[in-house]
Amino acid sequence: MNEVCVNKCVCDDGFYRNPDGFCVTSDLCDKKCSGPNEKYEPNKKSCPPETCQSIVAKYKCDSKQQGRPGCVCESGFLRMNLNSTCIPMEQCPESPDFNVTMCIKPNEELKCVKSCPPEKTCQNCDIQFNCIDNATEVCKNKCICKEGFYRNDKGDCVTREMCENMKCPRENESLQCVRSCPPVRTCENRHKRYHCLINQTEPCNYECVCDNGFYRNTDGFCVTSELCDKKCTGPYEIYEPKKKKCPPEICSSIVSRYACDLKEKGQPGCVCKSGFLRMNLTSTCMPMKQCPELINSQEPECNKTNESLQCVKACPPERTCRNRNVFYRCFNNMTEVCKNKCVCNNGFYRNPDGFCVTSDLCDKKCSGPNEKYEPNKKSCPPDICESIVAKYKCDSKEQGQPGCVCESGFLRMDLNSTCIPMDQCPESPDFNVTMCTRPDEELKCVKSCPPEKTCENRDILFNCIDNATEICKNRCICKKGFYRNNNGDCVTREMCDNLKCEVNEVLVKNPSPCGDQFCPVNKMSIKRACPTSITPDIKLPPRCECRFNYSRAKNGTCIPTSQCPPFPCGHNEIFNACPPFCPTDDCSSATSSGKCPKFGRIGIVVPCRPQCRCIENYCRKNNVCVPSEKSNATHACKYGTT
């Protein structure tokens, strides 16, 4: 009772304050209009009134008047008086008697207009018209563009943005006036069929839509049906989300120069794989070496990840980890002919191992916890916790590339997280196996089928019944390429106990660390490679080696050493696949008979050692073949006979 009232503006009875601060009726609180041909208008103005009389009457309205929420007539409708319902404009007594009764084009409305100002168009949208007082002129019904729209050259009402650029920014799309049904063509709905009811009253809206035969993908580009699934059917083609038109991937680009727009935005498409080009824009991809521009030329094959064959000049040099922060200012080298070379793609740098890696991998450093550098990291299967229970269909031919991987026994929660112990994964069962200590073992969560690879089952293919419900268990199993032998160790296929040797091979139970006998490919490889320091008690596992006087050829088979292919020799030298052990071609051991100086003929079979020997009447002095008369030898050099 003691509270003092305060003067305040409040809504009258039957009106309510809306969020915009206006006092409106109850039905307008929900922004609903119940009358026929009415619509809600948040800023309805009282002048000019929307009555039939306004067709011929002239009003002096306050340009600063503030509107308020209310119901107004739809376009092409007016009221007989302020309290009546909205009727078609042509039913007004004041309406001139002519045929314009309804506007059918999108974004048009029927209005009674005078000759000045003219209708807004794309050409006059920035022009201000000062019209002479034309109070005596009678207005005429005319279909004009709604507010915010302008008449273009085609006679359509479009937005100002469409006036400035009537072309859609991306390829394979065009400006079309569309309705809600059918929806625009997309990759997701391309196999659906729509039955749309004819709705003449629904206005269409101008949008950039895909042309016939193209569909909008998730990246917003218009692509063919095949590219919706990111598949390329042509030979040697791969999908590229940002394919650029310049330079074109055609043979002539090897010797041509193009002024390409650096700001060009690519779009999805099929491009040739690295080392392949097209004869023309519509032909299939073929090996670059088959291009007419490269006839009789020899170019390298680029088979490493993130590199491609490019025709480059001496300056600037290829991007490497060592020079990645160096800026090169090359002098005009227009006359220099470029040469084909395997170089790293943009954003990659050649590391000391010859791989193209990102800048952060240049130093082979992995900053994350429990990570290590892997020169041949593969994307499938991913090193995430989900891989414990998930099954992946990986491409066995995938070429890895340098990157950071989790240490053994660690995984990531997702591709972007750090490496955590495998037993902390939500998918990991709770048991004690957390680390493997034997060589060539790794900790993996496996199911009962297929069993671990062993020397006994290594050639068996297991067809496992669907075991999706079975929970995997952490176990120490042999790494890929290794098999469990009877001693419980992980060994290679060759080291398995029941090793079967091929033709002309023998099983050596205690092989030498020096390795197998190979056919030499040049003079430098005649001597077999052997470790410089060997522990006396070292015991190597059994392996298959070529039998006596057989050597391993390039294809991996064992052939008679005497059949090893020849290799180039020096001046006054000739290749001999199986030269005699005695005499040698040294001038100190040359004899007139060509036989060993003391024994004459050796009655044992000695190993063949392919090598270069001096030609007849020449002997070796200081590792050079010289004529025998200049060698100070007591006899003419004869060797090579037994």
State whether 29 and 133 are in the same domain: yes
- Band the pLDDT of 332: cuts 50, 70, 90: low
State whether 31 and 150 are in the same domain: yes
Q: How many alpha carbons lie under 13 Å from residue 224 in its C-beta half-sphere?
A: 8
pLDDT greater at residue 480 or residue 635: 480
The SS3 assignment for 563 reads helix
Q: What is the mean pLDDT of residues 389-399?
A: 74
Q: What is the pLDDT at residue 561?
A: 92
Residue 518: give its domain's CATH number.
Answer: 2.10.25.10
Structural contact between residues 513 and 541, judged by C-beta atoms closer than 8 angstroms: no
State whether 57 and 112 are in the same domain: yes
pLDDT at 559 over 90: yes
> What single-letter amino acid sits at 103?
C
Cα separation, 580 vs 582, whole angstroms = 5
pLDDT greater at residue 269 or residue 336: 269
Q: What is the pLDDT at residue 183?
A: 86
Maximum average pLDDT range among 53-57, 306-310, 457-461, 623-627: 623-627
Q: What is the mean pLDDT of residues 429-448?
A: 71
Instruction: Name the domain boundary from 107, 125, 155.
Output: 155
State whether 544 and 589 are in the same domain: no
State whether 513 and 625 are in the same domain: no
Q: What is the pLDDT at residue 470?
A: 75
Residue 131: inside a domain, yes or no?
Answer: yes
pLDDT greater at residue 56 or residue 194: 194
Token match 């297929």: residue?
450
pLDDT, tens digit, for every residue of 55-70?
Answer: 777 677 887 888 888 8
Q: What is the mean pLDDT of residues 595-600?
A: 57
Q: What is the mean pLDDT of residues 482-501?
A: 74
Range of the domain at 512: 499-526+538-564
Residue 371: inside a domain, yes or no?
Answer: no
pLDDT greater at residue 156 or residue 164: 156
Residue 307: inside a domain, yes or no?
Answer: no
Maximum average pLDDT range among 255-264, 291-300, 337-346: 337-346
Q: How many CB atoms lie within 10 A of CB 373?
A: 15
C-alpha pair distances (Å), 606 with each of 172, 561, 579: 77, 12, 10
Q: What is the pLDDT at residue 457?
A: 80
Task: Supply the pTM of this predicted model.
Answer: 0.28
- Of the listed ranges 9-13, 26-30, 208-212, 576-580, the least confidently predicted one is 26-30
Residue 419: inside a domain, yes or no?
Answer: no
Instruction: Name the domain boundary from 133, 155, 177.
Output: 155
pLDDT, tens digit, for every residue of 247-259?
Answer: 888 888 877 777 7
- Band the pLDDT of 428: cuts 50, 70, 90: low
Q: What is the mean pLDDT of residues 86-104?
A: 69
- Of the listed ranges 284-288, 333-337, 613-617, the least confidently predicted one is 333-337
Type and span of the H or E element at 228: helix 225-228
Residue 507: inside a domain, yes or no?
Answer: yes
What is the average pLDDT value for the chain, to the nearest integer?
78
Q: What is the pLDDT at residue 63?
A: 75
- Band the pLDDT of 333: cuts 50, 70, 90: low
Long-range Cβ contacts of 180-186 (<8 Å, 24+ apart): 184/209, 184/210, 184/216, 185/209, 185/210, 185/214, 185/215, 185/216, 186/215, 186/216, 186/217
Q: What is the pLDDT at residue 534?
A: 45
How long a stretch of residues is the chain?
642
State whether 44 and 136 are in the same domain: yes
pLDDT, tens digit, for every residue of 339-349?
Answer: 778 888 888 88
Q: What percent of the chain has pLDDT over 90?
A: 4
Residue 166: inside a domain, yes or no?
Answer: no
Maximum average pLDDT range among 228-237, 253-262, 538-547: 228-237
State whether 510 and 623 are in the same domain: no
Instruction: Name the domain boundary from 129, 155, 181.
Output: 155
Alpha helices (H) along 48-171: 160-164
State whether 577 and 559 are in the same domain: no
pLDDT at 97 over 50: no
State whether 584 and 505 are in the same domain: no
- Band the pLDDT of 98: cuts 50, 70, 90: very low
pLDDT greater at residue 188 or residue 130: 188
Q: What is the pLDDT at residue 90?
A: 76
Please count the structural domains in the chain.
3
Residue 491: inside a domain, yes or no?
Answer: no
In terms of Cα–Cα distance, which of 67, 22, 75 is closest to 46?
67
Q: What is the pLDDT at residue 560?
A: 93
pLDDT at 300 over 70: no
Residue 32: inside a domain, yes or no?
Answer: yes
State whether 72 and 145 are in the same domain: yes
State whether 588 and 624 are in the same domain: yes
State whether 66 and 149 are in the same domain: yes
pLDDT at 201 over 70: no
Type and span of the H or E element at 444: strand 441-446
Q: What percent of the chain has pLDDT over 70?
A: 82
- Band the pLDDT of 533: cuts 50, 70, 90: very low
pLDDT at 409 over 60: yes
pLDDT, tens digit, for every residue of 602-642?
Answer: 556 778 889 999 998 888 888 899 988 765 554 444 444 33
Q: What is the pLDDT at residue 563?
A: 92
426 prior amide bond cis, ω within 30: no
Q: What is the pLDDT at residue 550?
A: 92
Cα separation, 629 vs 641, whole angstroms = 20
